[in-house]
Amino acid sequence: MKRFKIFAVTSVFLLAASNVHAGATLDTIKKNGFIKCGVSDGLPGFSFADEKGNYSGIDVDVCRAAAAAVFGDATKVKFTPLTAKERFTALQSGEIDLLSRNTTWTSSRDSAQGMNFTGVTYYDGQGFLVNKKLGVSSAKQLDGATICINAGTTHELNLSDYFRANKTKFTPLTYEKSDESAKSLEAGRCDVLTSDQSQLYAQRIKLAKPDDYVVLPEVISKEPLGPVVRHGDDDWFDIVKWALYTMVNAEELGVNSKNVEEMKKSTNPDIKRLLGVEGDKGKDFGLANDWMAAVIKQVGNYGEIFDRNVGAGSPLKIQRGLNALWNQGGLQYAPPLR
Amino acid sequence: MTESALTPIKPPFWNNPRTRAIAFQVIALIVTVAVGLYIFDNTQHNLRRLGIASGFGFLSSPSGFDILQSLIPYSATSSYGRVFWVALLNTLLVSALGIVLATLIGFVIGIARLSKNWLISRLALLYIEIFRNIPLLLQIFFWYFAVLRAMPAPRQSLNLGDAAFLNIRGLYLPAPQFQPGFSWVLAALGVAIALAWGLARWARRRQMATGQQFPTLSASLALLAGLPVLTYWLVGSPLAWEYPELQGFNFRGGWVVVPEMASLLLALSIYTAAFIAEIVRAGIQAVSHGQTEASLSLGLDPGQTLRLIILPQALRVIIPPLTNQYLNLTKNSSLAAAIGYPDLVSSFAGTVLNQTGQAIECIAITMAVYLTISLLISLLMNWYNRRVALVER
């Protein structure tokens, strides 16, 4: 009976949650009039709330693009800040409709955890941030170091793999919030902070003396970060996937938020289809025919959101690198609009 | 008069209170089981629909991550099941140490609260009011982020006699290395405990019979300390010490008390001790003052009065609420997650849940464990309560 009680109590949570998304996610979103989007608990460049509570960042823009697609209005988003540990349960239970929180695409998350990654917003890799005082120039010299990590991330696993492969030892210090890890690094409780390189750059500008810290050259893993939806929700999955592809295609075709109206007069058939001037590719998604134009107009193309949030136009000044378009030496590639 | 006239008229069966009671219980049982089955089925259905793996098979797959503190051998190649035991032992360690510390501090403060010395009783009052009224999580943060973060870096460690070192990474202590002959010392300790127990029994009987007292406490202590030390010396000091040494980034070797554990332990015991102190004070005040006067007039000194007359009677009042405090302390230890101490909630219901995505299983196991620990503690305390309870003849 006791065992039953525990089980019953636990199941009630799931029951309560499962009723929320008994219908298709897209129907619920349309009924609510906004998208519930899970973002990070504060990572400059990806999702960060300013003192007025306005969110900005590349992950935030993905949420906005989805809202622009569904409602023609990029502001119809309710953001929920989540720690790395909370994020999947929040998505699985239906607390959020879309998780856009610098989340690494892995096989087990795609399969056993019941989620679908819709694409890659940012190609990243795990690196190390250390205090210059330590005089370390390579991750190979980190034998015996105490390393701060965020709980529930792929970094916990990559870190153990890396040190095992190099037959070196380390002491892990696992925090739930990335701010706590950063504070511990500053106080000297740990020697190294490990995370995605983009996050390390973002964390560094939050430290009191950013110049005292350096990101080591080694990248120890592949971290393709992307938006995530629940398994088995194909309509919604398609919309989120193509909201991102729209922004990538727009950059490739030279359409941006400023010239989108002008481009509607373009004779290029690709651009005509993209902006809903010709054909009914937009309608195929069950949305307005010009939803892609709305995404580009209100959020921008991929190049614009990268530049504004993490690239040259932001304090992070991260190079495009792997995130350049495929025809410019990078990996960002969207399937054709046909 | 005939026999039948005596038999009362049988009411219809639905008016029979016994039948009704049984009927209602059966209905309640059926409803509970039906709701349970519905929830179970619904959960299964939704998990399948969402394509989320279920079952307990994940416990045997390799975890792939490392843990800060482990009482049993553990590495990233160990299984998730092993993580469970590591995390459970970490929870039990901090709870057990916390209970002992909180009880000690609580009794001292509680007795001090009743002291006739104005300063001592006011200081005890101050302690109770401060620590009882600040949320526990804040106290944990205070110890972790304010106090223990102020320690020096590893290379500027506070050196305690070249054997122990204190820095921001923790307290490094020399670790004992047991050599082959050490089992003799343990055996000697066992013998000493048996002897001390026998001595106490004999002394008690003799006092009952003749009224003569025997210094049991000092004799037992001498036995407990003397016998093992003597054996240790006789078999040729079979104990070496491994000293922590500064190597690269950190000290290596020896034992380390990490600040995560220290701050959690401090906060838990100091916070709970404030409540225990109030319970002890109430328990002592519940013993009628006449008992103290009677004891003093029989010629017992104040120490003996407290130990032999007041406390045994006060314990009857103290034990039940004390059990609650022990349960609270154990459950509060789950706040460890806030400062990165790898307890059950943070490592198992946190990291494992996240790496496997099997929320229901992980949370169910964690809840079952806390329930079991709590029930065990109350069983133990109830047993002790029955032992000290007033035996009525």
Burial of B98 (0-12, 13-18, 19+ CB in 10 A): buried
DSSP 8-state class, residue B177? E
The Cα-based distances of B92 to A15, A176, B82, B85, B319 in angstroms read 32, 21, 15, 10, 21
Any idea which architecture A126-221 has in CATH? Answer: 3-Layer(aba) Sandwich (3.40)
Q: Do B64 and A2 touch (CB under 8 A)?
A: no
CATH number listed for the domain at residues B80-149+254-388: 1.10.3720.10
Work out the pLDDT band at A73, boundaries 50, 70, 90: very high
Burial of A95 (0-12, 13-18, 19+ CB in 10 A): middle
Q: Is the pLDDT of residue A4 over 60?
A: no
pLDDT digits (tens, 9 = 90+) for A151-166: 888 999 999 999 999 9
Mean pLDDT, residues B65-93:
94
Q: For residue A24, how many C-alpha atoms fall within 13 Å in the half-sphere facing its CB?
A: 10
Q: Which residues of B touch A16 (CB under 8 A)?
A: none
Distance to chain B for A288, nearest Cα, Å: 28
∠ CA A29-A31-A34, rounded to 5° = 45
Between chain A and chain B, how many beta carbons pairs sit less than 8 Å apart? 153
Helix A302-309 and helix A58-71: axis angle, to 10°?
140
Work out the pLDDT band at B393, boundaries 50, 70, 90: low
State the first-to-last Cα distance of chain B, in angstroms, to the nearest integer.
48
Q: Is the pLDDT of residue A27 over 80?
A: yes
Give the C-alpha separation, B351 to B347, whole Å.
5
DSSP 8-state class, residue A281? T
Are A104 and A225 a contacting pair, CB within 8 Å? yes
Burial of B269 (0-12, 13-18, 19+ CB in 10 A): buried
Tokens in use for B320?
């039940």
Q: Output the pLDDT for position B5.
A: 58
- Closest chain A CA to residue B351: A152
Give the C-alpha separation, A232 to A22, whole Å.
12
Give the C-alpha separation, A12 to B275, whole Å.
34
Q: What is the largest CA-CA distance in chain B?
A: 106
- Which range among A17-21, B251-255, B334-338 has the greatest average pLDDT? B334-338
Mean pLDDT, residues A105-114:
90
Q: Does domain A18-123+224-328 have CATH number 3.40.710.10?
A: no
- Closest chain A CA to residue B149: A187
Strands A35-40 and A98-104, by their bridges, are parallel
Give the C-alpha separation, A248 to B317, whole Å.
73
Q: Output the pLDDT for position A30.
A: 93
Give the C-alpha separation, B143 to B135, whole Å.
13
CA-CA-CA-CA torsion sign (B162, B167, B171, B172): negative
Shortest CB distance from B359 goes to which of A89, A108, A143? A89
Q: Is the pLDDT of residue B285 over 90?
A: yes
Number of H-type helices and E-type strands within chain A: 13, 13
Secondary structure (3-state) at A303 = helix
Mean pLDDT, residues B340-353:
92
- Which range among A240-254, B169-183, B371-385 has the greatest average pLDDT? A240-254
Q: Do A145 and B67 touch (CB under 8 A)?
A: no
Work out the pLDDT band at B192, boundaries 50, 70, 90: very high
Q: Is the pLDDT of residue B295 over 90?
A: yes
Distance to chain B for A99, nearest Cα, Å: 15
Give the C-alpha separation, A198 to A126, whole Å.
9
Q: Do B50 and A84 touch (CB under 8 A)?
A: no
Q: Output the pLDDT for position A12.
A: 46
pLDDT digits (tens, 9 = 90+) for A30-51: 999 999 999 998 888 999 998 8
pTM: 0.82
Distance to chain A for B252, nearest Cα, Å: 8
- Closest chain B CA to residue A142: B249
Q: Is the pLDDT of residue B99 over 90?
A: yes
Q: Is the pLDDT of residue A106 over 90?
A: yes
Q: Output the pLDDT for position A1.
A: 42
Q: Is the pLDDT of residue A15 over 50?
A: no
Q: Which residues of A touch B67 (CB under 8 A)?
A: 172, 174
For chain A, give every domain's residue range. Answer: 18-123+224-328, 126-221
Work out the pLDDT band at A292, boundaries 50, 70, 90: very high
Q: A124-146 burial string, b = 16+ CB within 10 Å, else e?
A: bbbbbbbbeeeebeebebbebbb
Q: Is the pLDDT of residue A198 over 50?
A: yes
Lowest mean pLDDT among A189-193, B49-53, B92-96, B256-260: B49-53
pLDDT digits (tens, 9 = 90+) for B110-137: 999 998 899 999 999 999 999 999 999 9
For chain B, give every domain's residue range. Answer: 3-50, 80-149+254-388, 177-242
Q: Output the pLDDT for position B176.
A: 85
Q: Output the pLDDT for position B52.
A: 82
Give the C-alpha separation, A88 to A82, whole Å.
9
Share of chain A above pLDDT 70, in %: 93
Q: Output the pLDDT for position B2.
A: 54
Residues 6+ apart with CB under 8 A from B292: B305, B309, B310
Are B214 and B207 a contacting pair, CB within 8 Å? yes
Q: Do B371 and A6 touch (CB under 8 A)?
A: yes
Work out the pLDDT band at A5, boundaries 50, 70, 90: very low
Shortest CB distance from B50 goes to which of A142, A143, A230? A230
Give the C-alpha separation, B69 to B343, whole Å.
9
- Which range among A16-20, B19-23, B121-125 has the greatest average pLDDT? B121-125
pLDDT digits (tens, 9 = 90+) for A135-145: 899 988 999 89
Q: Is the pLDDT of residue A17 over 70?
A: no
Q: Output the pLDDT for position A322.
A: 92
Distance to chain A for B69, nearest Cα, Å: 9
CA-CA-CA-CA torsion sign (A283, A288, A290, A294): negative
Mutation target among B47, B59, B65 for the A interface, most CBs of A within 10 A:
B65
